[in-house]
Amino acid sequence: MIKVEHIGIAVKNINNSNELFTKLFNQQPYKLESVESEKVSTSFFQMGETKIELLEATDPDSPIAKFIEKRGEGIHHIAYEVENIEAEMKRLKNEGFTLLNETPKKGADNKLVCFLHPKSTNGVLIELCQEITSS
């Protein structure tokens, strides 16, 4: 079963956006985190079973900075939770989807992640994510 895990929103200023979304959702973010590999600062709001992730670029060459420069602030990606990310990546690659990374990488919120190129998904950046479990 695949379910929406979170919706990622690119923002220029995470502090200002946290204030805005705190007012909107009437709750504070439950987690603030930096992801050095992606050059972003993130914050997460829990909305029922789905999360909202705010992403602020920490480097002008990061994917988020380039996204905002090209499109402005707004929805950046939709993330889907999968049980076995490697199996799902293999299945989707065999179905003709273009993966942006060939192996899962560590993302925010204790997840392994992989992105699908928007050119193969009708213009939507799709993130697959799987909870990292301790062995």
Q: What is the pLDDT of residue 37?
A: 87
Low-confidence ranges of the chain (pLDDT < 50): none
CA–CA gap between residue 88 and residue 105 (Å, rounded): 14
pLDDT tens, 5-40?
Answer: 999 999 999 999 999 999 999 999 999 999 998 999
Residue with tokens 């992403």: 55
Q: What is the pLDDT of residue 133?
A: 85
CA–CA gap between residue 40 and residue 52 (Å, rounded): 15
Closest C-alpha among 133, 130, 118 to residue 89: 130
Closest C-alpha among 35, 76, 40 to residue 60: 40
User: What pTM was estimated for this model as a whole?
Assistant: 0.91
Q: What is the pLDDT of residue 1?
A: 53
Q: What is the pLDDT of residue 134?
A: 72
Q: What is the DSSP letter of 98?
A: P
